[in-house]
Amino acid sequence: MVNFEAQPVSPVFGAEITGMDLAVGIDDATFEALEEAFHAHGVLFFRGQSLLSADAQVGLARRLGPLHQHPAAPMDDADSAVFVIHAHRDSPVANGNGWHTDVSCDEEPPLATMLQIHQLPQGGGGDTLFADMEAAYRALPPEWRSQLKSLTARHESEHVYRGRYADRGVDDTDAIYPAAEHPVVRTHPDTGRPSIYVNRSFTTAIVGMEPDQSDELLNWLFNHVERPEFQIRFTWQQNDVALWDNRRLQHFAIWDYWPDERKGHRVSGRGTKPFFDPDAPEPPEPTIRLSIGALAARPGGS
């Protein structure tokens, strides 16, 4: 029986789901309705949840398909698919503290990520920002979109992951961290909608461009996709669950609560190789109008 409500949290994307207890499991009809909501809104926020066991969370994530193994993070002993999110007084870094799409350096980056926050910082903070890369794409003039569609970008992770989890006992002396090339504009495999697929954390170069030209274009794109018009900000309550689509969104976990502690469990579903389908329909009109002057001339454009 389908029995939940999806309430949009902005005119652009994101929805809060109420009336559903994830701990009791999801029947097939409800799962189908949730998938529809997921494709419509890009990220779903499940309020009023109880603490999910690692098994329960993994079981839910498996409904989306096979699970993704993180290339660097220390995983939960009980289940290697569970990535423990934990920042505290002695943390040298906090996970996700910069704009990124999860593990876009993988050949097959995660399709979706499900995060439950078990422990909130005592003094508040620890919100997560999300940004809609479909809206960012639609806001560009058609001729700019055409130019971007012909480009491929390199995503790397050595600079992100090397030594990152040393404080959690990870010795990565012999580790080789992934790198991949992906289209700058990708087509969503389920909805057919295009989105911009470069992010400040992992994307290092436009393939085939001179380094200066590549840096200039990427910086322009990073600044564009990080505009607040494409964003929402989620304030967690204890045991809230967020499920986001890595094929459509970027996110940024704000570390404004140090020296407080924040803890949770993350599980990701394995995705497929990003692609661009030239026959996929173009969105006709931007759904966000940027003020005149906001789209300052892009580098290398005419």
CB-wise, 102 or 245, nearer to Fe ion?
102
Q: Which of 41, 68, 70, 100 is catalytic?
A: 100
Size of interface with Fe ion, in residues (CB under 5 A) = 2
First vs last Cα of the chain: how many Å apart?
Answer: 55
Active site residue 159: no
What tokens were used for 220? 């322009």
Return d(Cα 60, Cα 248) in angstroms, integer.
21
Which contiguous run of DSSP H or E holds residue 234? strand 231-234
Where are any strands of DSSP class E within 69-206?
83-87, 112-119, 128-132, 152-156, 179-183, 185-187, 194-196, 203-206
Return d(Cα 297, Cα 220) in angstroms, integer.
9
* DSSP state, residue 292: T
CB-wise, 95 or 187, nearer to Fe ion?
95
- Contact status, residue 220 vs residue 299, Cβ threshold 8 Å: yes
What tokens were used for 252? 């940024």
Q: Which of 102, 132, 240, 245 is catalytic?
A: 102
Q: Which of 41, 251, 262, 265 is catalytic?
A: 251
CB-wise, 70 or 138, nearer to Fe ion?
70
Contact code string over 6-35 relative to Fe ion, x by CB under 5 A: ------------------------------
Coil, strand or helix: which one is 78?
Answer: coil
* DSSP state, residue 294: S
Report in angstroms how near the CB of residue 201 gets to Fe ion at its nearest: 9
Q: Does 269 bind Fe ion (CB under 5 A)?
A: no
Report in angstroms how near the CB of residue 70 gets to Fe ion at its nearest: 10
Report in angstroms how near the CB of residue 96 gets to Fe ion at its nearest: 4
Return d(Cα 49, Cα 239) in angstroms, integer.
6
Contact code string over 71-110 relative to Fe ion, x by CB under 5 A: -------------------------x-----x--------
Report in angstroms how near the CB of residue 98 gets to Fe ion at its nearest: 9
Active site residue 266: yes
Report in angstroms how near the CB of residue 253 gets to Fe ion at its nearest: 7
Q: Which residue is nearest to Fe ion (CB)?
A: 96
CB-wise, 102 or 134, nearer to Fe ion?
102
Using DSSP bridges, classify how beta strands 43-46 and 15-18 pair: parallel, antiparallel or unpaired.
parallel
CA angle 126, 99, 81 (to 5 degrees): 70
CB-wise, 72 or 151, nearer to Fe ion?
72
In the complex, the residues that contact Fe ion under the rule CB under 5 A are: 96, 102
Active site residues: 100, 102, 251, 266
